[in-house]
Structure 1
Amino acid sequence: MSKRRIYWTLQIVGWMVLILLEFVPYTLEYGFESGVLYSAIANIVLGIFLTHAYRLVLKRWNWSSLPLNRLAIRVIISVLLLGLVMALMNQPLDRHYLEDNLMNQPFLFWGYYATWCKNLFAWILSYTVYQYVEQNRLAGYEKIMLRMSMREAEAKVLRSQLNPHFTFNALNSIRALVYENPAKAQVSITQLSNILRNSLLADRRKTVDLQEELRTVEDYLELEKVRYEERLKYTISANPQSIYWQVPPMMLQTLVENGIKHGVSKEMGGGFVELKADIEEDHLFITIKNSGNLTSTDSKSESGGVGLKNTAERLSILYGKAASFHIFQEADKVVCSEIRIPTLSENNMMTGL
């Protein structure tokens, strides 16, 4: 049933029950009177009209978004005003009863007025509380949706970042291979094409299979080996159960690139990159080790501080506190990056908790 239908059902049934609770006992005690019946019907119509008018005013001026103290003042004024209207409108309907008793009971009108205020207060308070709660619920939902939109926009920017220096260096290396080793040049072009395609697709996908990300990393490392030749050695290993785990696209490639630029490239004799993926306590645990010293990473460089911050922010956007990223100096000239990723769920993506 729609909210509109529920509202009108409650309005009609509620006012009919309220008036009948007075009409039925009166009829049983004094007998049926057509005038009393008409008065009861008029009160039902009048009550529905006045409370619906209050509903329109509340929605028109958006009272439910006001602070509680200001809203309470409006509720009290509305109750007193509508109660007065009901009492005054009922005077002509109950004129015989009032004429007979008003002289003997001077405060009869005020008791009459207080009774209507009590009845209207119950209706107005119930409806106002409902609207206030609904307004806050919708506001909370809008905040969540806005937060999700902002996170998605941030994630798209972070996912689409690919170091242009790598592309430039790769193209130069491939150009040299065209004359020296055409077959190798063709393979390198395919590998570069795969990386660029994944980079372009990264802003359309929140996550990819780990095995797809590892292929991108391997293509990247093979292209770097064209430049560094025997100065670069690498190993990639993954638990077979982890290859379908969802990870942010291009994230591992960014970390490997950071390790080569700030580690391997600075070592006279070259260096190594070692990537391992395993499952520990229902989390994907990835370690990336590379030659170098952590202190040599310039936090202001494009692929250094920005690349590491990029990784931390992307994990936070997708998984919130459920994921973690740490980089530290494991040993002399060995830097280690550790990533812990939970199973991605809709709850993670919505709340970031």
Structure 2
Amino acid sequence: MFEKISKYWWCQILGWLTYFLVNAFVFSSTPNTLYYVSLVVLTLMGVISTHAFRYLVRRLEWETYTMDKQLLLFFWIMVGSGTLLFICKYLIMRFIFMDEEREVDDTFRGLISAYILMTIWWATYFIYHYVERTRAEKLDQLTLQATVKELELKTIKAQLNPHFIFNALNSIRALVDENPQRARTAITELSNILRSSMAAEKAETVSMEKELNIVKDYLALETIRFEERLVVTYDIDPDTLTLQVPPMMLQTLVENAIKHGISKTISGGNVMISSHLKGLQHEITIENTGQFVENPRNGHGFGLESTRQRLSLLFGNRASFEIRNKDAQMVEARVLMPIL
């Protein structure tokens, strides 16, 4: 039964009950039956007046008002409900206590007392709704941000897969006429990569081990294309294999190293993939032969920007990504992420 009582009515009941008890046992000097009856009537009138004015302000949709209009509304409902409560008290004194000789000072104090009481009531009401509305708006904002974040991640993933597939198909196309047997092997490797990438699509992060397996399949495919021109080395700390990383991120950076480093060098080059713990962070580096010149028109922009976006969406400012020329022959891409 009590579960059906709203917070508003709980506040009304407990608030006015407190008012009754304080006046009955604290401020009363010589209470009698008539005093308690009048106090009950006055308490009920307090409930009725505040509830009536609450109904009025809700009909006026005060939440849509500007702050200055809300303050003006607060003043008038305080005056209105306070005056109504005072009139009820005056009538009780006049007709129940038969007090016909009330002094002006007593009347003034009674009016001020009613205004103070209503000020407390309405201040509590407005502040409560302001806090609740602010909390609801904050929750809505966080929900919206989470939704936008999820949509952005899905959009980035949806862009990554076609980007990768087109490059892989170009590798296979180069083998079809030259060596059909190797082309069939390349198709098998591509099938493995696509199967792994589709599984990774379902999660925001995957283990480093799973991500590394995708990269190894991709590099196995590229090794068929480049043969001895491509040399791959790994420096992987086993403790990092269970750590979580964004899906397809490592593959994107390795693909970027192949496309813009190795493929542009006649003699080919080296790709080195490292994964280590650095304090409370997971450090991943990809080094490749070549020189980095950032230019979105040459294709660098998409892979690097998608990496930055995903790291920002998943980790905020706790993660970082940079790519630079390590020396005159090597490019280094470096990712730092918090350990998950």
TM-score, with length taken from structure 2 = 0.88
Partner of 1:8: 9
Deviation at 1:89, TM superposition (A): 2.8
How far apart in 1 are the matches of 2:193 and 2:205? 16
Deviation at 1:73, TM superposition (A): 2.1
How far apart in 1 are the matches of 2:27 and 2:236? 85
Alpha carbons 2:240, 2:282 under 8 Å: kept? yes
Partner of 2:38: 39
Partner of 1:236: 234
CA spacing shift, 1:226–1:115, aligned 2, 3 Å? same
CA spacing shift, 1:212–1:47, aligned 2, 3 Å? same
Alpha carbons 2:230, 2:268 under 8 Å: kept? yes
Q: Give the residue type in structure 1 aligned to 2:117.
A: N
How far apart in 2 are the matches of 1:190 and 1:98? 103
How far apart in 1 are the matches of 2:282 and 2:4? 46
Q: Give the residue type in structure 1 aligned to 2:139.
A: Y
Alpha carbons 1:245, 1:343 under 8 Å: kept? yes
How far apart in 1 are the matches of 2:283 and 2:31? 84
How far apart in 1 are the matches of 2:327 and 2:175? 35
CA spacing shift, 1:167–1:30, aligned 2, 3 Å? closer
Q: Give the residue type in structure 2 aligned to 1:95.
A: R
Structure 2: tracts of 5 or more residues without a match: none
Q: What is the number of equivalent residue pairs in this alignment?
A: 335
| 2:315 alignment partner, one of 315, 319, 322 | 319
Tell which deviates more after alignment, 41-50 or 208-217.
Answer: 41-50
Tell which deviates more after alignment, 322-331 or 141-150.
Answer: 141-150
Q: Any idea what SS the aligned residue of 1:289 has?
A: strand
CA spacing shift, 1:298–1:240, aligned 2, 3 Å? same
How far apart in 2 are the matches of 1:290 and 1:321? 27
Deviation at 1:26, TM superposition (A): 8.0
| 2:215 alignment partner, one of 214, 217, 222 | 217
Identity among equivalent pairs (%) = 30
Q: Give the residue type in structure 1 aligned to 2:229.
A: R
Partner of 2:186: 188
Cα deviation code 1:226-280 (max 9, x no counterpart): 2222211112231010001000000111111111111111101112211110111
Q: Give the residue type in structure 2 aligned to 1:240.
A: P
- 1:114-133 equivalences under 5 Å are 114-133=112-131
- 1:265-276 equivalences under 5 Å are 265-276=263-274
Q: Give the residue type in structure 2 aligned to 1:267.
A: T
Partner of 2:77: 78
Alpha carbons 2:172, 2:186 under 8 Å: kept? no
Q: Any idea what SS the aligned residue of 1:172 has?
A: helix
Say if 2:156 is the partner of 1:158: yes
Cα deviation code 1:159-186 (max 9, x no counterpart): 2312142132144256458x643xx555
